[in-house]
């Protein structure tokens, strides 16, 4: 019997958050989810990542699998350009803050962030444990790790909330990766 292993990709999402508890620098793995979709998009000229491999979408499908889907559709207001633009701007702002703050930590201008935040600014009321102590990790690397982990945490929580109220993969409608991929495909067709 052929196993459809793509059904189990959600394990990588769980693993990602679990590894952060061992050591936050595992959060650098999050860059795979930001870079690989576009590598595959350029190679295949279609959204291969979204259609087959995205571990976050797999998690959303797995969490809400078996739930009655009747009446649970993606709301129209979320499918509008404004909502997509808003989340794209949020993603851009996040990346900008991530880069600039990491540079400032590197240059010793600000302290490294050592906690997880929700929506860029809201610090979680608990610290995640660090079960493996890796010596000599530079502050900027720790800071970058917490920023990436926070980004992934925020979008996953929003995805789970949207999936609870609407269709499981409602997040995909406004996901910045999706919006950027659509823009890239449109440019390819026109170009
Ligand atoms: S739209 Fe975003 S969350 Fe959905 S499959 Fe694509 S990358 Fe994953």
CA 57 to ligand 1 center in whole angstroms: 6
Atom of ligand 1 nearest to the CA of 169: 4
Indicate the domain borders of the chain: 5-67+75-190
pLDDT at 16: 98
Instruction: Kindly give the parts of the chain with pLDDT less than 50.
Output: none
Instruction: Tell me how far apart the alpha carbons of residues 14 and 73 are, in angstroms, rounded to a whole number.
Output: 26
Mutate to test the pocket of ligand 1, among 13, 48, 56 (most ligand atoms within 8 A of CB): 56
pLDDT digits (tens, 9 = 90+) for 80-124: 999 999 999 999 999 999 999 999 999 999 999 999 999 988 999
């Amino acid at each position: 019997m052929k196993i459809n292993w793509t059904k189990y990709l959600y394990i990588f999402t769980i693993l990602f958050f679990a590894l952060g508890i061992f050591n936050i620098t595992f959060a650098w793995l999050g860059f795979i989810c930001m870079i690989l979709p576009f590598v595959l998009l350029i190679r295949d000229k279609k959204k291969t990542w979204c259609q087959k491999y995205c571990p976050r979408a797999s998690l959303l499908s797995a969490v809400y699998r078996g739930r009655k889907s009747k009446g649970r559709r993606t709301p129209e207001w979320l499918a509008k350009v404004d909502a997509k633009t808003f989340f794209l701007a949020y993603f851009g702002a996040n990346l900008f803050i991530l880069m600039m703050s990491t540079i400032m930590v590197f240059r010793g201008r600000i302290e490294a962030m050592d906690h997880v935040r929700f929506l860029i600014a809201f610090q979680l009321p608990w610290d995640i444990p660090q079960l493996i102590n890796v010596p000599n990790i530079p502050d900027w690397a720790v800071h970058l790790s917490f920023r990436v982990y926070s980004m992934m945490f925020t979008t996953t929580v929003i995805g789970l909330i949207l999936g609870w109220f609407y269709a499981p993969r409602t997040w995909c409608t406004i996901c910045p990766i999706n919006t950027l991929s659509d823009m890239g495909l449109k440019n390819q067709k026109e170009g």
